[in-house]
Every structure is written in structure tokens, then in C-alpha cells.
Amino acid sequence: MKKKVILALDNLTLEDSINITNQVKDKLLTVKVGLELFNLVSKTGIKRFNDIGVNNLLLDLKLNDIPATVYRSILALKGIKFGFLTVMALGGNEMIKQAKKAASELDPNIKILAVTILTSLSKQELSKMGFSSSVEDTVIQLAQNSNEAHGFISSAMEAKLLREKFPNKLILCPGLRLPNDTKNDQVRTATPALALQNGADACILGRSLLQGDINNNLEKVLNSIK
């Protein structure tokens, strides 16, 4: 992947999302459409990204259901051109096999990415949920349990371990911030430079790019990862 930055279009209207994407799309790997925007505008609205030339969308829908339901849910995305789709690693390999099967029927180039542990979760929160292992061990266990996926979504803090264990998988890191940015609702965060240093293929950034001038912010990020 030559381009290393994915813009997360969070907390935006469709019009703002399209306008911002139009400004910077040539410098991005792609843009990430999350559940909020997807639910807001449905398939018809999401197709507008295709209309402006973004055909490798990252649909961050974090699907997690029984295999047959996930299979049919992905087939229902027919009509949108996208390159990446997220599912939850907790769904297991059988669910991911069905996700890949459905995706390949839409487009053989679509990559299924398994979300390991959300970057908003701390060790303490995981303990309350019944996870007794460290965050790092839990991420690796979830990745092993979902290794049918083309790649993983994980924090930069676990990217190095994932790269060592899964050298041929895609690794995308969300929840990233530039050094002086606030963390907001993220807990396990890092800089884009550290994410790439730890083995990530691409960085997913939202607030660090969207707050202020998108072009200036993107240049800062691109300069930080040269």
C-alpha cells in the first residue's frame, strides 16, 4: 500500500463527508464509513462516494452475528463499491468464512478485516467483561480465532505483536492521534508514526484530521510518517 492514511468520517453529515472527501481523496488510501453514517444515509447515500471516485471504501460495520446472517447481510450491500469490510473477531472463523464467501460474490477484491479489541477499552474494562488475559494476549487470541480474515483492526499498541504472529495479514490501526491532540474517548492510542513503525499497513484518523483545516492537518500527518 503506497498511501497510508484512511480518513474516518465520524460525526459528519453526508454532504460534509462528501465535500471533505473530495478535497483530500487523492492523498488518502480511502475513507472509513462507520455505522453512524451508514445508518443515517443508507446504501443510496453511501453510493455517492462511488460517484466521486472512491470505490475502495472501508465499511466499518463491525458485523457480529451467526454465520448465515452475516453472509446475507453482506450480500445486501450489493450496489456499493467497497474494498474493506469490518467484522468482529469475537464472531469466530466460521462467521468470517461466510463473510468472505459473501464478499467474494460481490467482488473478489474485497478484504474482510476482523476487529480485535476496541481502542476505547482499557484493561480494567476488559476484566469487568470477563477477560482474564492481558490486552495483548487477548488481541492475539482473538486474532488466532479469526485468522480466516484478510487482516485485523487493532490499536497501534498491539500491531507489533500481530505483525510478528501474522506477517502476511493486513493490519489497520484506528484511534490514532498526533502528539498534541486530545485522546477524547480513546484509551489505547498512539501516533501514526508509531503505528507504522509497529507494522501497520495503514493509519485510520478522524478527529486529528477533521478538527480545523483538513488539508493542513493531513499534511502534518503525512509529514510525520515520511
Residue 30 in contact with residue 83, Cβ under 8 Å?
Answer: yes
The pLDDT of residue 129 is 74
Q: Look up the domain containing 109 and give its range.
A: 5-224
The β-bridge relationship of strands 82-88 and 111-115 is parallel
Phi, psi dihedrals of residue 161, rounded to the nearest 5°: -60, -45
Q: How distant, in Å, are the alpha carbons of 46, 62, 136 from that of 110?
A: 16, 15, 28
Q: DSSP assignment, residue 191?
A: -
At CA 133, angle to CA 196 and CA 142, rounded to 5?
Answer: 55
The pLDDT of residue 130 is 76
Could you tell me which residues come within 8 angstroms of residue 69 by beta carbon, excluding any fewer than 6 positions away? Answer: none
Number of domains in the chain: 1
The pLDDT of residue 131 is 75
- Segment 215-222 long-range contacts (CB within 8 Å, at least 24 positions apart): 215/23, 215/24, 218/5, 218/24, 218/27, 218/28, 220/178, 221/5, 221/178, 221/192, 222/5, 222/27
Mean pLDDT of successive 10-residue stretches along the chain, which has 226 residues: 92 96 97 96 96 98 98 98 97 97 98 89 74 83 95 94 97 86 61 95 94 94 93
Residue type, 138: T
Q: How distant, in Å, are the alpha carbons of 19, 24, 107, 117, 206 from that of 210?
A: 12, 11, 31, 24, 6
The pLDDT of residue 175 is 84
Q: On the CB side of 163, how many CA atoms lie within 13 Å of its CA?
A: 17
Catalytic residue among 62, 100, 111, 169: 62
The pLDDT of residue 166 is 97
- Determine whether 4 is an active site residue: no
**CATH of residue 205:** 3.20.20.70
Residue 31 in contact with residue 59, Cβ under 8 Å?
Answer: no
Judge if pTM exceeds 0.85: yes
Residue type, 167: P
d(CA 136, CA 122): 11
The pLDDT of residue 182 is 63
Query: What is the separation, in whole angstroms, between the first and last Cα of the chain?
Result: 14
The pLDDT of residue 185 is 52
